[in-house]
Chain A
Amino acid sequence: MARNIWVLAEQWKGQISEPTYELLALGREVADAMGVSLEAVVLGDQVKGLAGSLGVADTVITVEHPALAHASSEAYGEVLAQLAKQKEPHAILIPLTNASWDVIGLLPAQLHMPFVNFCGDLKVVDGKLQAKCLLYGGKMEVTVTPETPAILSILPGTRPVDQGRADKIPTVEEVAIAPAEPHVKFKKYIEPEAGEVDITQMDVLVSIGRGIQTPDNVELAEQLAEQFGGAVSGSRPVIDQGWLPLSRQVGKSGMKVKPKLYLALGISGAPEHQEGMKSSDCIIAVNMDPQAPIFSVAHYGVVGDLFEVVPCLIEKAKAMKGS
């Protein structure tokens, strides 16, 4: 029985995605600690060419079929169920991203395996997998030991991307499995309408969350952004309410931004949001809740009312620019 660690490699528009390399780095540690091999599984229409960059794995298992061209939960599940039956992995690590979302959701049922979600780190303790998971929007950390074999969805950012890349050429094993045509059929991508502002190109972002409370208050953030020569962006709730356009969303479903200054106003900082902004040069967070997870990624924090702080900031910035 092999009991190896698997990483389900994720593709985005023909390339291996960055979270895949993070998982290879994490999976390498876990496999070494257990004394087993690390195997990357690549599914797709034509994917053999992608295997070369996955050298951190000992072996790359590829399955090619037109029904696997998109990350179809049905076709992926059918193929992975057959592969898992043949090869009996110990754990399957999948990046917790929107691209892999449906596969993550259906696979535990298809494979009848335990599933661990929101996994922020994974270790081997006394020969067993121990996962640390972030629940309740990052407000609680839960340590779990799943029965194995298990499927784990891993939050982005567990290991540096570069740690998951290697020059070594992995052994490639091609497996022939022909899944049925999925019932749910991918038709096309819809690219976002170009916003009037590209938030990924701004030096300063004044970013607002649920704490902004009403659409009328967005104006306050606009005024501050104007003083700082930046733009206003937002977290999911603000976008979902329609207070800012989709092009201004920061986070897992939105944009990844790295401005020189990210001022987070009334943003609690759930893992999905942190994913989009934690690489910013300088993060300043203003939040009423001293326990807000945003303070764990911010460089500077203010526990306070943004409606008191922001007007003072606008005045102070005006005064400094005038002097």
Chain B
Amino acid sequence: MNILVLLRMVPDVVEELEVAPDGKSLNDEFLRLIINESDNHALEQALLLKERYGGAVTVIAMDQPEIDDVLFTALAKGIDRAVKITGAEKGLTTRQVASLVSRAMPTTPNVLPADLVITGCQAIDDLDGQVAPLLAYDLKLPYLGLVTGMEVDLSARKATVVREYAGGVRGEFDVPLPAVLGIQVAERPPRYVPVAKVRAVAKSQQIETAAAGALTQVPAVDVVEMKKPEAAGRAEMIEGSPEEVAAKICGILAERGLL
């Protein structure tokens, strides 16, 4: 079973985010990029499927700061190939990324056909689109998002796929293969790989590259302004030592008859 995984980088929101001088984008000077969380789950799901059904996992990603680390980590976890799409402009929107990647896939040797194309179901900077369904549309493949698990029947060319609804309810679907799936969460938490192993892999294995094609026109969404949101309501802040804070919180609870 051949699985193709698209990984993307997103700003680490644990760090302070600043608006760039243009007032419309993030200041990338101090920006730390990390792997998109649901993409990390897509990678884990691909590794689980490889363990269960055999086959090979190829990871594809746009060239971005820190991407080599992410790709070597994926290689250390057990993927078979890592391909980096180089030479694209900076600051691409989700829709532009989907367009570039879907056109790079058929022209990069031995990437397609894949039985499954999987990626995270969303990213925190998906302003103008979601990448999984956009890929599915461009590749003319069936699509399902918010996926949390699956069983594959390769001989029947189909997968039984589970996706999330609300309130803990899930839905089961029949999906013909090949297909594009947006992964919400892998069947198991993403595995850990020691840094030493990643370093060893970085010395012994290669990241392949593929040149990005020209950017095609995609429907535009014009950003007028970016700013930190003004809190609609702002919490009354409790200050003091941990003991004082605890006493005040217990006081609030007591007033409300909860303690």
- Chain A contacts to B: CB under 8 angstroms: 12, 70, 73-74, 97-99, 101-102, 104-106, 108-110, 112-118, 130, 133-147, 150, 183-192, 203-204, 228-229, 237, 240-242, 246-247, 249, 252-256, 260-261, 263, 268, 270, 281-285, 289, 291, 293, 295-305, 308-309, 311-313, 315-317, 320-321
Contact = CB atoms under 8 A, between A and B. Distances in A.
A97 B238 CA distance: 34
A203 B165 CA distance: 25
Contact of A102 (B11, B144, B226): B144
Given A136-B11, A189-B165, A204-B258, A316 B229 contact: no
Contacts of A301: 235-238
B137 A291 contact: no
Interface residues of B, number: 83
22 contacts: A12-B165, A102-B143, A102-B144, A114-B128, A117-B128, A118-B127, A141-B228, A184-B142, A184-B174, A186-B171, A187-B160, A187-B172, A189-B169, A189-B171, A242-B189, A246-B168, A255-B168, A261-B256, A281-B256, A296-B231, A296-B235, A302-B245
A202 B162 CA distance: 29
B78 interface: no
Contact of B145 (A101, A109, A317): A101
A317 B133 contact: no
Contacts of A302: 237-238, 245, 249
A222 to B, nearest CB: 17
Given A134-B229, A309-B246, 9 more contacts: A74-B142, A97-B166, A117-B130, A136-B124, A147-B222, A240-B189, A261-B258, A291-B228, A296-B231
A192 B189 contact: no
Name the 7 nearest CB pairs between A and B, nearest first: A192-B168, A105-B133, A301-B235, A296-B231, A312-B246, A109-B137, A114-B219
B145 A304 contact: no
Interface of B: 11, 13-14, 16-17, 19, 26, 37, 41, 95, 121, 124-130, 132-134, 136-138, 142-146, 160, 162, 164-176, 179, 182, 184-185, 188-189, 219-238, 242-243, 245-247, 249-250, 252-254, 256, 258-259
Contacts of A112: 219
A140 B229 contact: yes
A184 B161 CA distance: 10
B174 A187 contact: yes
Contact of A135 (B124, B133, B162, B172): B124
